[in-house]
């Protein structure tokens, strides 16, 4: 289920699903640990003897954000209860605390006995064993802890601070559903403590006059020691929780508008998606540098793993998008993170945890009896390429200087040498690695183009540092790869590039020839995107036209598939001519990027606007974008939000605005 409302500050992230249930709570890293393990944190309203949990069908829900902020603007209406509920959630921009302000309004014109209930189902450090929950009278709330992680839940209303009801008990053991069931009669047991696999529910009384309204604000403070969360909660009471919400709203309004970018050439829905995409990106960036692919734990039910890792490729493209829109300060920590995890030989492995550990992988060390590197070479290449783009924007030489050897010299040297130089491979293509979709091993058009862009970026850095010998060597290697792309990947009969070529080896281990895989693949947009070839090159133009023709979904939804026959979460199995795969946001927007790159006047950029409007139409009402959409209904598929999807929106919009300013009307 998509996460329609992520809120965070780089140390803490809370996500809500489409029914407004809190589902994920990450702390102290974005992506680690998820202290809910994806379990539902229920929120309910009891009124005049009737309970309605927010996931029930009686609610009408509108889930949005306040404009330009990471403060939610949620409206819940329940005709049966005769109540209108408005909620504002945020993670404070500085402190690790989730705050929720709840305003309840009577719609029946009579006195109301209303009680609010918040359920907390934590599995601290992603493990329910050994948790403790207790009522803390000094803090006027519930304290939950295990090891070094502590959480404190409390509240204030217009008359008092502290909770009115609470229950602490067992969950998912011996058939126990959890303490939320205890709330359905409007009364909780007030037991003092429980340990093991525990959960808790708290309640707040909100009597309402006829036609009137009342409010309460609750918060969940996170920390690494009991006294710390108690002090934070006491500070919230002293300064009032409303002040924390207000200051967070002001901070994000400033953050999202600090760069005076003229959005007037954009349709309103595209401009709104552009601003929202920057804010969503911020929720997925850890303050220590890791840029996380997605934080939607429901994907574990499909894959047995999640996306809460840092792929250097995804991170590099996100960092590039942030640099383009003036948020480059976030990128510096990412590049330092990359320097800390790079292999001593100059390449990145598959992916990394938010705290810089090697993450799970499905890339083997042995293929067909041959030892191989378990890598996707484009990940190494794109970090070098994006670092150069960052420098061209920021001109921050003091930042680049300590990274030059680690993130430029070592990977460029490795890429220039990790090429096939046998008798049949003298064109100097990269040696085989895994593709960006992490499914096939070979020599890929995307990888080759990214490596060309990286070697040219390294050569530019080397010239800046007076390292002329290396600059010439790396530029020569890049030029050789361009020639190899034309000679090996181009299929004259098809009139387009292969997505991948596989080397065929002689008995002595030399490359005799390359076999082409001509499956249409959106990843071939890389031929121009990283500077390998000119977007006006006839070969590039023919390939991009063929990809649009062969991969566009001919349904009312539209959009481009990843590649012909894509199996991942595939919805339509029996109509490959019209539905080659599910539409992906990034693959569709790559054609917008190509349109902008080729445009000679503003009119020629109009198809790019159409594709950006297509993306905006696929967003949730909150502005969140998924990885893919259903080709028939347009519903989100796989994780949401996908960080890469939002980064692509930002990149295309910035390239569009820059080109729009340069071109004649």
Q: What is the pLDDT, as a whole number, of residue 425? A: 55
Q: 176 or 124, which is more confident? A: 124
Does the pLDDT of residue 261 top 90, yes or no? yes
- Kindly provide the b/e burial profile for residues 197-233, where b requires at least 16 CB atoms within 10 angstroms of the residue's own CB: bbbbbbbbbbebeeeebbbbbbbbbbbeeeeebbebb
DSSP 566-615: --TT----S-TTT-SS-BBHHHHHHHHHHHHHH-SSGGGGHHHHHHHHHH
The mean pLDDT of 543-563, rounded to a whole number, is 98
Q: What is the pLDDT, as a whole number, of residue 134? A: 96
Q: What is the pLDDT, as a whole number, of residue 446? A: 98
pLDDT tens readout for residues 271-292: 999 999 999 999 999 999 999 9
Q: In the chain, how many domains are there?
A: 1
* CA angle at 132 for the pair 127 and 136, rounded to the nearest 5°: 145
Q: Is residue 353 part of a domain?
A: no
Q: Is residue 359 part of a domain?
A: no
Q: Are the CB atoms for 154 and 141 separated by under 8 Å? A: yes
Q: Is residue 88 part of a domain?
A: yes
Closest alpha carbon to 328 in 405, 382, 392: 392
pLDDT band at 423; cut points 50, 70, 90:
low
Structural domain that includes position 7: 3-256
The mean pLDDT of 544-561, rounded to a whole number, is 98
pLDDT band at 175; cut points 50, 70, 90:
confident
Distances (CA, A) of 587 to 452, 481, 641: 21, 24, 16
User: What's 486's DSSP letter?
Assistant: I
Q: Is residue 151 part of a domain?
A: yes
Secondary structure E strands in 121-158: 131-136, 141-146, 149-157
Does the pLDDT of residue 496 top 90, yes or no? yes
Q: Which of 35-39, 425-429, 472-476, 602-606 has the lowest mean pLDDT?
A: 425-429
Q: What is the pLDDT, as a whole number, of residue 437? A: 97
Does the pLDDT of residue 404 top 70, yes or no? yes
User: What's 499's DSSP letter?
Assistant: S
Closest alpha carbon to 605 in 613, 614, 594: 594
Q: Is residue 639 part of a domain?
A: no
Q: Is residue 271 part of a domain?
A: no
Q: What is the pLDDT, as a whole number, of residue 369? A: 87
The mean pLDDT of 296-300, rounded to a whole number, is 88
Helix (H/G/I), strand (E/B), else coil: 355: coil
Environment class of residue 271 by beta-carbon count within 10 Å: exposed (0-12), middle (13-18) or buried (19+)?
A: middle
pLDDT band at 665; cut points 50, 70, 90:
confident
The mean pLDDT of 429-435, rounded to a whole number, is 96
d(CA 203, CA 500) in angstroms, rounded, equals 59
Residue 41, CB-side half-sphere exposure with 13 Å CA sphere: 23
pLDDT tens readout for residues 631-659: 999 999 999 999 999 999 999 999 999 99
Does the pLDDT of residue 88 top 70, yes or no? yes
Q: Is residue 402 part of a domain?
A: no
| Percent of the chain residues past pLDDT 90, beyond the cut | 92
pLDDT tens readout for residues 141-160: 999 999 999 999 999 998 89
Domain harbouring 98, CATH code: 2.70.98.10
Q: What is the pLDDT, as a whole number, of residue 424? A: 58
Q: Is residue 211 part of a domain?
A: yes
The mean pLDDT of 202-206, rounded to a whole number, is 94
Element (H, E) at 219: strand 213-223
User: How high does pLDDT run on average in the chain?
Assistant: 95
Q: What is the pLDDT, as a whole number, of residue 256? A: 96
Q: Are the CB atoms for 642 and 627 separated by under 8 Å? A: yes
pLDDT tens readout for residues 236-251: 999 999 999 999 999 9
Q: What is the pLDDT, as a whole number, of residue 290? A: 98
The mean pLDDT of 408-435, rounded to a whole number, is 88
Q: Are the CB atoms for 287 and 279 separated by under 8 Å? A: no
Q: What is the pLDDT, as a whole number, of residue 508? A: 80
């Amino acid at each position: 289920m998509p996460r329609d409302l992520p809120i965070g500050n780089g140390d803490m992230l809370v996500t809500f699903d489409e029914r407004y249930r809190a589902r994920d709570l990450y702390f102290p890293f974005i992506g680690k640990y998820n202290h809910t393990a994806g379990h539902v944190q229920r929120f309910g309203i009891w009124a005049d003897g009737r309970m309605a949990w927010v996931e029930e069908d009686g609610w009408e829900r509108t889930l949005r954000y306040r404009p330009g902020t990471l403060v939610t603007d949620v409206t819940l209406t329940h005709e049966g209860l005769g109540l209108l509920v408005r909620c504002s959630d945020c993670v404070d921009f500085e402190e690790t605390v989730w705050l929720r302000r709840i305003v309840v309004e009577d719609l029946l014109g009579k006195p109301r006995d209303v009680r609010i209930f918040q359920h907390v189902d934590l599995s601290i450090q992603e493990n329910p064993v050994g948790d403790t929950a207790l009522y803390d009278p000094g803090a006027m709330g519930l304290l939950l802890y295990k090891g070094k992680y502590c959480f404190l839940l409390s509240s204030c209303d217009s008359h008092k601070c502290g909770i009115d009801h609470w229950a602490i008990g067992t969950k998912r053991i011996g058939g126990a559903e959890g303490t939320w069931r205890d709330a359905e009669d409007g009364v909780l047991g007030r037991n003092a403590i429980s340990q093991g696999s525990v959960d808790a529910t708290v309640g707040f009384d909100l009597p309402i006059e006829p036609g009137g309204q009342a409010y309460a604000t609750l918060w969940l403070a996170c920390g690494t020691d009991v006294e710390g969360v108690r002090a934070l909660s006491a500070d919230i009471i002293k300064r009032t929780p409303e002040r924390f919400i207000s200051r967070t709203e002001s901070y994000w309004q400033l953050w999202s508008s600090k760069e005076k970018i003229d959005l007037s050439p954009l349709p309103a829905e595209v401009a709104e998606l552009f601003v929202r995409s920057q804010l969503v990106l911020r929720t997925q960036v850890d303050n220590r540098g890791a840029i996380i692919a997605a934080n939607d734990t429901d994907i574990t039910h499909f894959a047995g793993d999640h996306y809460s890792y840092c792929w250097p490729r995804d991170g590099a493209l996100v960092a590039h998008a942030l640099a383009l829109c003036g948020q480059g300060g976030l990128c510096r920590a990412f590049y330092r993170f990359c320097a800390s995890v790079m292999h001593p030989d100059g390449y990145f492995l598959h992916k990394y945890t938010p705290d810089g550990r090697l993450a799970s992988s499905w890339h083997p060390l042995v293929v067909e009896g041959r030892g191989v590197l378990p890598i996707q070479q484009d990940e190494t290449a794109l970090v070098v390429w994006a670092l150069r783009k960052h420098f061209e924007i920021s001109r921050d030489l003091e930042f680049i200087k300590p990274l030059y050897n680690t993130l430029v010299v070592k990977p460029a040297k490795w890429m220039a040498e990790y090429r096939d130089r046998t008798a049949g491979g003298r064109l100097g293509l990269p040696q085989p690695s895994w593709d960006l979709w992490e499914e096939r091993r070979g020599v890929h058009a995307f990888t080759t183009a990214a490596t060309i862009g990286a070697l040219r970026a390294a050569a530019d850095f080397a010239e800046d540092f007076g390292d002329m010998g290396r600059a010439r060597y790396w530029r020569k290697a890049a030029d050789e790869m361009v020639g190899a792309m034309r000679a090996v990947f181009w299929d004259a009969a098809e009139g387009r590039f292969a997505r991948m070529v596989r080397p065929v080896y002689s008995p002595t281990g030399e490359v005799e020839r390359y076999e082409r895989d001509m499956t249409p693949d959106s990843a071939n947009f890389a031929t121009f995107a990283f500077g390998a070839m000119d977007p006006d090159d006839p070969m590039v133009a023919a390939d991009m036209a063929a990809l649009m023709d062969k991969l566009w979904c001919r349904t009312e939804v539209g959009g481009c598939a990843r590649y012909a026959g894509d199996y991942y979460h595939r919805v339509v199995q029996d109509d490959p001519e019209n539905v080659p795969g599910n539409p992906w946001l990034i693959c569709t927007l790559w054609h917008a990027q190509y349109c902008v790159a080729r445009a000679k006047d503003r009119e020629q950029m109009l198809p790019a606007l159409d594709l950006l409007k297509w993306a905006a139409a696929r967003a949730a009402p909150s502005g969140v974008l998924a990885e893919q959409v259903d080709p028939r209904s347009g519903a989100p598929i796989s994780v949401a939000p996908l960080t890469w999807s939002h980064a692509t929106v930002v990149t295309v919009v910035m390239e569009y605005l820059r080109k729009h300013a340069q071109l004649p009307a």
